[in-house]
Amino acid sequence: MALTTKTIAVIAVILLVVGFAAGWFLRTPAPEVAPQSEVVFGALLSLTGSASSMGESGEAALELAVEDVNKHLLSIGSKTRIRVIVEDTKTDPAVALEKLQSLAGKGIKVVIGPQSSAEVETVKAYADENGILLVSPSSVAPSLAIPGDNVFRLCPDATHQAEAVARLMWEDGVRVVIPLWRGDVWGDDLAKATKDSFEELGGTVVDGVRYSPTTEDFSTELESLNSKVSQAIAQYGDVDSVGVYLLAFGEVVPIFLQAQNYTSISTVKWYGNSAVALDKELISNPPAAQFAIRTGFPNPTYAVGKTEKYGLVEEQIRKKIGRPPDNYALAAYDALWVATLSYLATGGTNDSDALKKALPQTAGSYFGATGWTALNEAGDRKFGDYDFWAVREDNGTFLWERVARFQVDSGLPGRLI
């Protein structure tokens, strides 16, 4: 029997009430439009390539989110169900565009991902031109914070991440930094933002070494880096005052394996980034993990409050992948909830303009595994602290351990706690 308008309205009200009890609510009532029986979303994930660790945890998070959303819809008597078509971008911007075009051909209007900023940069024009909304759980490049476009990011841009790294370096006694970075929009943005933050503190950033994302043999880059570090040590006369800032993805492993062969860069402190924090490949490679331990190598990542909901979701993702997930995986979990609730808030339309209007309103009212998902005027997460993670050894096993937090309070400078 077809649902009446009155029945649909009742279901919408029940959905809002039950959702509030679960920790989220919607401010505006849904228009009286009958939803589809199956809603299909897309996902562009880095299942292979240099960000595969993040892709694996993101896929597990979305699988869990589909289960939880559909259980919720069933529990309130809704006939609507959701499904996600996952595409592997191979951490390659060109492949990401091909996969987005494929999803568009299936009529999909909301896509979770891509995960890297370089991929988002490449696909965003196509998404804008074709009315496709991108909800990335992990893209952080500050230059992609563009008001009015079709890109929404459930993590803060990297401005505060840069401040966090610069502050930790400074408080560690580092006064001269030589960056080694991945030559894409993400690496370029973070290298510049961190340079600016460190220099504001009074530090010096030496012209570093930029490498292509396709590089496999880093001997040339490391030779140059070692020379620059040697010169900095000689000039400033103190190994402890010199540090290396690494902006890498999964290539951190071959970089560390080759870096062991160079004396100067093996004796100074290294600092990392959000793409490496909790990476499974690094702790699975003993020589690379040992280099990380020897050089300190703290890595910042977007931090979330350890609420009961966080604990439940984190534990289930952990069981799926056999390791602690990065917080961007939990952001992917929340991204699917926000996308689904935005669809329901429009009354079940596939109209891009309606969904684009509903999504930030929904995000501003949603409290999920990562907490409050309110967005700023650029469509990026408004609030966020950063945890620093470093590799540790425990009875022959390498693991990630949280070593510091950078707290960002509204209207105040961030601080290490």
pLDDT at 1: 38
Q: Please, is 166 exposed, middle or buried when counting C-beta atoms within 10 Å of its C-beta (0-12, 13-18, 19+)?
A: buried
Tokens of 386: 């950063």
CA quadruple 339, 136, 197, 277: dihedral sign: positive
Whether the predicted pLDDT of 191 surpasses 60: yes
3-state secondary structure at position 266: helix
Is the preceding peptide bond at 300 cis, omega within 30 degrees of 0? no
Largest Cα–Cα separation, the chain:
82
pLDDT at 27: 37
344-374: per-residue pLDDT in tens?
999 988 899 999 999 999 999 999 999 999 9
Q: From CA 134, how far away is CA 149, in angstroms rounded?
A: 10
Is residue 118 within 8 Å of 347, Cβ to Cβ? no
Question: Amino acid letter at 244?
Answer: V
pLDDT at 26: 36
Is residue 59 within 8 Å of 402, Cβ to Cβ? no
**What is the CA 71 to chain-centroid distance, rounded?**
26
Q: From CA 50, how far away is CA 187, in angstroms rounded?
A: 14
Whether the predicted pLDDT of 205 surpasses 50: yes
pLDDT at 198: 98
pLDDT at 242: 98
What is the percentage of the chain residues whose pLDDT exceeds 70? 91
Estimate the crossing angle of helix 185-200 against helix 117-129, to 10 degrees. Answer: 120
Within 10 Å of residue 258's Cβ, how many Cβ atoms?
17
Q: Which of 150, 122, 153 is nearest to 138 (CA)?
A: 153
Which element (helix H / strand E) includes 4? Answer: none
Any idea which residue has 């997930």 for tokens?
325
What is the percentage of the chain residues whose pLDDT exceeds 90? 85
In total, the chain counts a number of residues equal to 417
Is residue 405 within 8 Å of 303, Cβ to Cβ? yes
Using DSSP, how many helices (H) and how many strands (E) does the chain show? 13, 16
Give the chain's domains with CATH numbers: 5-158+305-372 (3.40.50.2300), 159-302+385-416 (3.40.50.2300)
CA Rg value for the chain: 22
Which element (helix H / strand E) includes 393? Answer: strand 385-394
Sheet containing 151-153: which strands, arranged edge to edge?
81-88, 38-45, 110-112, 133-136, 151-153
Q: Which of 8, 2, 1, 6 is nearest to 349 (CA)?
A: 8
Q: What mean pLDDT do residues 200-207 have?
A: 98
Q: What mean pLDDT do residues 17-21 have?
A: 37
pTM assigned to the model: 0.88
Within 10 Å of residue 336's Cβ, how many Cβ atoms?
26
pLDDT at 414: 82
Whether the predicted pLDDT of 332 surpasses 90: yes
Q: From CA 406, how far away is CA 400, in angstroms rounded?
A: 17
Whether the predicted pLDDT of 28 surpasses 80: no
Which element (helix H / strand E) includes 94? Answer: helix 93-105
Q: Please, is 395 exposed, middle or buried when counting C-beta atoms within 10 Å of its C-beta (0-12, 13-18, 19+)?
A: exposed
Helix%, strand%, coil% for the chain, nearest 5: 45, 20, 35
Q: Which of 132, 151, 134, 133 is nearest to 143 (CA)?
A: 151
